[in-house]
Amino acid sequence: MNTKEEIQRRRTFAIISHPDAGKTTMTEKLLYFGGAIRDAGTVKGKKTGKFATSDWMEIEKQRGISVTSSVMQFDYRGNRINILDTPGHQDFSEDTYRTLMAVDSAVMIVDAAKGIEAQTLKLFKVCRMRGIPIFTFINKLDRQGKEPLELMEEIEEVLEIESYAMNWPIGMGKEFLGIYDRYNNRIEQFRTNEDERFLEVDEEGELVADHSMKETSYYKQAMEDIQLLAEAGNDFDEERVRKGELTPVFFGSALTNFGVQTFLETYLDFAPKPQPRATNVGDIVDPTNEEFSGFIFKIQANMNPAHRDRIAFVRIVSGEFTRGMNITLSRTGKSYKVSSSTQFLADDRETVDTAVAGDIIGLYDVGNYQIGDTVVGGKKGFEFEKLPQFTPELFMKVTAKNVMKSKHFHKGILQLVQEGAIQYYKTLHTEDVILGAVGQLQFEVFEHRMKNEYNVEVRMEPIGSKVARWIENEEEVKESMTGPRSMLVRDRFDRYVFLFENDFAMRWFQDKYEHIRLYNLL
């Protein structure tokens, strides 16, 4: 198979949801169908010691949450699928945001009982902003939840996107009988033998056989709903799905593995192939371009604590990667020979010799790479559009409890800051370390990882929420501009940053020093 054919069979997507909607369980079931794992155990089976394959960090296992983005790859029916399992917790929205820049479509998991939740809405807006196709899986139909029509209405009103039900539930909770598969014209039964799993429907859409389900009120209600959808609902339009204007909706239960395989197969019928990307000068790089190019959207330290390694995650945008090739880092113009590269199956990794556009590969990093970097196969350097950085809202002063561990302390901070979840600042003269984050959980993860991965216990002293602003005309800033309500610090790139006590303090500063041009990251 040539490179172009290999690229055509790639499908790269992220799974997004609110915490506890079943995202990691769904990821695990997809891996199960892809033959990537043999045992699809429940995510939070603490007593059995089983954890979802995508939750590898120690703190995730203790809490049963995902706080990092995992990457998994498997083959299914001629397609090579790359799944990026994103953090559900809102404190890690920045990591998720960047991950969404590296995919061609997104799968949104919605809890049938809770509907659209705050974090789902936030992530969804990112997808809409990028115009990427969104597929919706309404989960936990084996429990009692909201009425299906209510959920469809909620998707349209809250997310402001049109929807099309690819299947429809027959009953719910204890009375959940199965789903009416509108796309494949069949009924899929819940909790039944494999040979009785699918039931045929006639041209009118009714059950062919004289089946006991036909007499139930749940079947009759489902048929009425489907009739209503056919008459008053949206038409299915593949082009609008591709533009992110219409979301195909699937119902099922990831925990009981019901409706997942049907979803996967239907998704693959419509999921986009690797898409072109824009550069910072407005050029478009097509995936089938022969020259290798890609961008780094994530850096993770200590994926294997025994080896103290750092991995830079690269989304390949065009061409083919081969191990041993020379790549150029566009930001610096320096070239490197890539002798070590890896692909992922959650916490299992294997050396990869070749990969193509659409794939995610890991490059071993000794500190050369930064999030957002572009790497190319030739000498000609161009850069893809910059990845967004969030402006932190919470700040902590951090010191090592044991001053003798100062070297480990600074090494740990440097490596964890480079992952992008926390941001680093230092005061001008005393060089005290201040960390900024979007959410409190990021500090807890930082403290946990410093202790477990770098053997350094840290003392964290909250300095509260601040309004951080960078300065366009740094040369005009004077230290005398600081006061009790504004602190001047430097970030990890040695740029000046004002930390204002609140919006009022920032406005007061701007009124007093009108010539200073402030800006925030996002």
> What letter represents residue 290's amino acid?
E
| pLDDT of res. 308 | 60
* Of the candidates 416, 391, 389, the residue with the CA atom closest to the CA atom of residue 497: 391
Q: pTM score, two decimals?
A: 0.80
Can 3-179+237-270 and 277-376 be said to share one CATH topology? yes
Q: What does the alpha-carbon distance between residue 474 and residue 491 come to, in Å, rounded to a whole number? A: 13
Encoding tokens for residue 443? 């500090």
- Average pLDDT of adjacent 10-residue blocks, the chain of 522 residues: 90 85 82 66 38 47 47 86 73 70 92 81 75 92 93 89 95 93 93 82 84 90 94 93 93 92 94 92 90 90 62 92 91 87 61 89 84 86 81 91 90 83 89 88 84 90 91 92 92 93 94 93 72
Amino acid found at 46: K
State the pLDDT at residue 396: 94
- Positive or negative torsion for Cα 88, 90, 92, 95: positive
What single DSSP character describes residue 309?
-
Vertex 131, ends 125 and 137: CA angle to 5°? 65
> Which option is the CATH number for 3-179+237-270: 3.10.300.10, 3.10.20.30, 3.30.930.10, 3.40.50.300?
3.40.50.300
User: What is residue 508's predicted lDDT score, i.e. its pLDDT?
Assistant: 95
* Nearby residues of 265 by Cβ (< 8 Å), 6 or more positions away: 77
DSSP letters spanning 150-219 = HHHHHHHHHH--EEEESEEEES-GGG--EEEETTTTEEEESS--GGGSEEEB-TTSSBSS--GGGGSHHH
How far is it, in rounded angstroms, from Cα 140 to Cα 487?
A: 49
The pLDDT of residue 124: 77
Residues 28, 262: contact at Cβ < 8 Å? no
Overall CATH class of domain 394-519: alpha beta
Strand partners, 355: 321
Within 10 A of 422 (CB to CB), how many other CB atoms are there? 22
Task: Note the CATH number of domain 277-376.
Answer: 3.40.50.300
Query: Residues at the annotated binding site?
Result: 17-24, 85-89, 139-142
The domain limits of the chain are 3-179+237-270, 277-376, 394-519
Residue 23 corresponds to which tokens in the numbers above? 């995202």
pLDDT at residue 507 in the model? 94
User: Residues marked as binding for GTP?
Assistant: 17-24, 85-89, 139-142
User: How far from the centroid of its chain's Cα atoms is residue 247's Cα?
Assistant: 18
What pLDDT is stored for residue 87 in this prediction? 66
